[in-house]
Chains A and B, each alone.
Chain A
């Protein structure tokens, strides 16, 4: 998994975001066991406590769950993952449309452009 961070937002929030992408894109699939906090922290080169905080937040959102002593898993609720995926996609589309609006394109012109590419 590739990690990239910007300087203007909390690191834990960016970890949540990137881990969420990993789940909805299927890099980590429903029911998969996650690597340990320490291994993930090392991979992302972040503080283990920050990684812990991010995973706890995802747990709170229901995307992950912890099995006592056995580790942390991706939820088996496929419908929920799909729902998050749809929400993220809608956000992307809204951002895209807003940008295109700034350039001054109409909806029809945008659709024509998309079909061309």
Chain B
């Protein structure tokens, strides 16, 4: 229980460059547990880069990143459940293969829970990823990621490219499966659809945090939705 004294995410002065392009520019961010947080920003603002750094897939040029007090490492990967922004699983895999794969990789994977959710979606154990529609594939990947008893869920564009009904399903799955001890950080530009599910939002722009606030604070103070504020702040 020691690690719970630390915020789930702490970034200080994090800079990440791709060649001459600066993706994150001295970013500072602290997030606490028990929240569903939206990571919002226009295309190219650094959302995916930040998520990949937190997931331990990228290393920053400078600055400090702590996940539950630890630098991104094998240890943090045990408590971080990450959903990439594109298909990443082998498409020849059947539902049973996927369950076995996740159970093999992650000690905190709740296979029974994943199986039940897949059955509720009407999937059979013998169904292959390849044979599923894009929306179903995205649901399957989310089910796998949310079936881990992780402390931090990093969801990169979990609702991009699926129809509104699938969107509702995905949001529902997130609400139902996160626990008070965990945090969910999800990036999206479909703010309108997701706003009610978020407690807090982080706006990033040009690789820096420009606003961190609760959704209701924004509504209270600005008299407009987060979506409305986003459109105003990032007007092209």
Chain A residues in the interface with B (C-beta under 8 A): 5, 7-13, 38, 41-42, 44-50
Contacts and interface: CB of A to CB of B under 8 A. Distances in A.
B172 A10 contact: no
A47 B228 contact: no
A5 B175 contact: no
The 10 closest A-B pairs by CB, nearest first: A7-B225, A10-B216, A10-B219, A46-B196, A47-B199, A10-B220, A49-B199, A8-B223, A12-B216, A42-B175
Interface in B183-236: 196-199, 215-217, 219-220, 223-225, 227-228
A12 B36 CA distance: 15
A13 B34 CA distance: 21
B36 A47 contact: yes
B172 A8 contact: no
Given A42-B172, A42-B175, A42-B176, A49 B225 contact: no
A8 B175 contact: no
Contacts of A13: 216
A49 B172 contact: no
A45 B117 CA distance: 18
Contacts, number: 55
Give the dominant DSSP class at A's interface: helix
A2 to B, nearest CB: 15
Nearest to A50: B199
Contacts of B216: 10-13, 50
Given A45-B172, A47-B198, 15 more contacts: A8-B223, A9-B219, A11-B216, A13-B216, A38-B175, A42-B175, A45-B196, A45-B197, A47-B175, A47-B197, A48-B175, A49-B34, A49-B36, A50-B215, A50-B216
A44 B31 CA distance: 25
B91 interface: no
A8 B34 CA distance: 26
A47 B196 contact: yes
B194 to A, nearest CB: 10
A21 to B, nearest CB: 18
A10 to B, nearest CB: 4
Contacts of A49: 34-36, 199
Interface string B141-180: 0000000000000000000000000001001100110000
